[in-house]
Amino acid sequence: MINLAQLLISGILIGALYGLVAMGFVIIYRGARVFNMAYSQFSVIGAFIAWTFLGSPGSPRLALPLALFLTFLSSLAFGLVIEHFIFRRMIGRPLFATFILTLGLWSILYGVVLQVWGAEPRTFAYSLPKGAVNLGPIVLSQEYIWSFVLAVIILAVFVIFFRRTKLGLAMRASYDNEVAARCLGVNAGLNSKISWAVCALLATLAGFVIASARGVSLALGDLVMVVLAVALMGGLDSLIGCVIGGLILAIGENLVSYYLNPFLPGIGTIFGMILILLVLLTRPRGLFGAKSIERV
Amino acid sequence: MAARGKTRNNYTTELALIQTWGQWVSLLVFLAFLIALPFALEQSKNFSWLSFLNFTLITIIAILGLNVTTGMAGQVSMGHSAFIMVGGYITAALSVNFGWSIWFTLPVAAVLTAVIGLIVGAPSSRIKGFYLAVATFAFFFVAQFIIKHLDFIGGINGIINIPPPWIGSLKINTDLEWYFLLLGITIICCLLSSNLMRSRLGRAFKLVRDNDITTASMGVNVYHTKLRAFFIGAMLGGLAGGLWASYLTLIRADQFVIWDSIWYLGMIIIGGAGSTTGAILGVVFLRLISQVIHVVTGAGVFSTMSNNLSVTLNYIVYGLVIVLFISLQPNGLLAFWKKIKANYKRWPFGY
């Protein structure tokens, strides 16, 4: 029973983190209509840039606030560059063409990371506070609590942004009907820029948070790949769906890897993919997604 | 090339695959070139050329399959590498565990893989576009996971010592013999593929790709057409996988990575989706690029050895090529060729 409670609670904490990771993915889908397969690599690059500024535990380079500031600044620039040189040209092209394009981008970024930073794993000089927290018999790790808090705050910020601010409403309007939104004076180019910047920022943040718990390496990309499962489960265009999807995935992953691992070693790593298949086969629009997927 | 104003007088000439003597000549010259190629290379004492050619031929067979599923019928499959893996494993398991002849295991592997293709294609009635792509993407990982956990086919260690095929008393052991075997199979597959494109089914594929509703209103069963596309695609993938396994004489689940699937899609787009020639062009183009990378990074021409730089450059350049083609020339290399041909025909006039 205590085991189950432990699995559930740590699942909730990790689930919020997954939700945070998926948020950037959903925002780019809503804002620029791009199904970004390269998203996991955005996180990896963000984490490696953060490592470059922070340094490893033996040889720290910059103080944490300065390093984080520089990291986020460079990821902002990265997002804008990607938007300007690649995705600006793809506005009005079929969704599918941009999908393949993001596959190419994924490959490029993977190669760049492999070339610049190499394949060996690293750790940050500073990271979120570590250590265990005891809640009675339940043991939780501190960095997951921090990432949970972070995810909740960011989710709240984005929900308010999309519901209350003029810019957020404009972005939703142009997601709904781009031509009509343009006619009403919404700046579609600006929307696209903002979405890419926010996407890169969130990817970097997620990369930093995950990497501070599990180390910086290319394997981070596989972890972030679960956003596909999370985003598809929540419905590609719903922020709340992200968090719910993240919770389902994380709790399911915890339970499955605890109870089934003795019989099927490694089932936890594949659980996200199984979930993708299940969701797409049973309810393609996800739990909270808008009804129509695509023109038939 | 048919000159302007040349008319076809009966249906036989209209339907012929090769219509002019110019095409006959170029075809024969090309075939002679393909047959002479290994002998010319053998004299240069560079045998790794041959294994490069053989892998290219196997890839062409696989890509012809993906070209049916994705290029003709528009059902994006990111699981093609999984089909190759499954086909390879079936061939290997049947010929090693049961001692079946390769000429028996290859068709069995192709058909069984095609049945798995049907299962993968089954959701295509409900989900489209990149949703289907992501479903096949997930399928790849699940299939790999399952294969790694099936102990009777070697689990994570895979299968080794797959016996070579034979024709009569001739065992196909050397790269040269393999080359001619693969060349023959590839030519047959190319013929079938380009004839498929001109058949009723091929036209139905293209119709499904372009518009579902139009297809249905024409009286074509959309779902069955999609399933057939998956069936044929997976069948060729399985065939390629079987050849791959018996050429390498070993197979392991780790040999197959998701990047292969991505680059297969890239090959189709680079060549020109939906055409046999395009598929071949795409494969040859990307395979040659990887050799250029080998040369530039100093890994050695056509050597199987690769250094770190050539591996990472492979990722970067392949990705870059895909990005550039999608954003600048989405119709692929074939569109270039058609443009040249059109210009040649009407030269010196601009219309």
Separation CA B324–CA A100 (nearest Å) = 11
Write out pLDDT tens, residues A149-192.
888 898 889 889 888 898 888 888 888 887 888 888 888 888 88
Contact B319 A111 (CB under 8 A): yes
Looking at residue B45, what is its pLDDT?
Answer: 58
Contact B131 A280 (CB under 8 A): yes
B139 CB within 8 Å of a chain A CB:
yes
The answer to whether B2 and B19 have CB atoms below 8 angstroms apart is: yes
**Which DSSP category does A122 fall into?**
B
Of A86, A114, A265, the CB nearest to B315: A114
- Asked if the structure places residue A97 within a domain, the reply is yes
What is the full per-residue pLDDT of chain B (351 aa) written as tens digits? Answer: 455 556 677 777 777 777 778 888 989 999 999 988 888 776 665 557 788 889 999 999 999 999 999 999 989 899 999 999 999 999 999 988 888 888 889 999 999 999 999 999 988 877 877 788 888 999 999 999 999 888 888 778 888 888 888 877 788 888 888 999 999 999 999 999 999 988 999 999 999 988 888 899 999 999 999 999 999 999 999 999 999 999 998 999 888 999 999 999 999 999 888 889 999 999 999 999 988 888 787 666 555 555 678 888 889 999 999 999 998 888 888 888 888 888 887 777 766
DSSP string, B241-308: HHHHHHHHTEE-GGG--HHHHHHHHHHHHHH-TT-HHHHHHHHHHHHHHHHHHHHHTTS-TT-S---H
- Asked if the structure places residue A178 within a domain, the reply is yes
Separation CA B214–CA B211 (nearest Å) = 6
- Report residue A7's pLDDT band, with 50, 70 and 90 as the boundaries: confident
The domain that holds A228 is classified in CATH as 1.10.3470
Which one has a higher pLDDT value, A50 or A283?
A: A50
B211 CB within 8 Å of a chain A CB:
no
Separation CA A210–CA A109 (nearest Å) = 19
Backbone angles phi, psi at A122, to 5 degrees: -135, 170
Of A93, A101, A270, the CB nearest to B145: A270
Range of the domain at A261: 2-282
**B22 CA to chain A: closest CA distance, Å?**
37
- Strand partners for A139: A134
**Which DSSP category does A137 fall into?**
T
* Least trusted range by pLDDT, from A46-50, A287-291, B102-106, B126-130: A287-291
Separation CA B59–CA B54 (nearest Å) = 9
Contact partners, residue B351, CB within 8 Å, separation at least 6? none
Separation CA B295–CA A250 (nearest Å) = 46
Residue where the block lists tokens 């893996």: B85
- Asked if the structure places residue A295 within a domain, the reply is no
Separation CA A89–CA B119 (nearest Å) = 37
Nearest residue to B62 (alpha-carbon basis) of B250, B247, B290: B247
B33 CB within 8 Å of a chain A CB:
no
- Asked if the structure places residue A101 within a domain, the reply is yes
The answer to whether A30 and A195 have CB atoms below 8 angstroms apart is: yes
Helix, strand, coil share (%) of chain B residues, nearest 5: 75, 0, 25
Looking at residue A296, what is its pLDDT?
Answer: 38
Instruction: State both tokens at B283.
Output: 């494969």
Write out pLDDT tens, residues A219-278.
888 878 877 888 888 877 778 888 888 888 889 988 988 888 888 777 888 888 888 888
Looking at residue B1, what is its pLDDT?
Answer: 46
Mean pLDDT of chain A: 85
Domain count, chain A: 1
Size of interface A-B (CB pairs under 8 A): 126
Task: With a cut of 50, say whether residue A295 has pLDDT above it.
Answer: no
Write out pLDDT tens, residues A106-148.
999 999 999 898 888 888 877 677 777 777 777 888 878 888 8
Of B137, B142, B269, the CB nearest to A274: B142
- Asked if the structure places residue A287 within a domain, the reply is no
Provide the 3-class DSSP secondary structure of residue A38.
Answer: coil
Please, what's the largest Cα pairwise distance for chain B?
67
Buried b (16+ CB within 10 A) or exposed e, B325-339: bbbeebbbbbeeeee
- ipTM for the whole complex: 0.88
Residues of B in contact with A284 (CB under 8 A): 126-127, 131
Separation CA A126–CA A64 (nearest Å) = 7
- Asked if the structure places residue A15 within a domain, the reply is yes
Contact A280 B123 (CB under 8 A): yes
Contact A115 B320 (CB under 8 A): no
Separation CA A244–CA A230 (nearest Å) = 8
**Which DSSP category does A121 fall into?**
-
Residue in chain A lying closest to B147 (CA): A264
Optimal mutation site among A256, A273, A278, A285, interface B, most CBs of chain B within 10 A: A273
**Could you tell me the CA-to-CA distances from B235 to A134, B115, B227, B291 in Å, in that order?**
56, 8, 12, 29
Q: For chain A, how big is the Rg over CA atoms in Å?
A: 19
Q: Which H or E run includes B166?
A: strand B166-167
Looking at residue B83, what is its pLDDT?
Answer: 95
Separation CA B92–CA B238 (nearest Å) = 12
Looking at residue A21, what is its pLDDT?
Answer: 86
Looking at residue B350, what is its pLDDT?
Answer: 67
The answer to whether B117 and B268 have CB atoms below 8 angstroms apart is: no
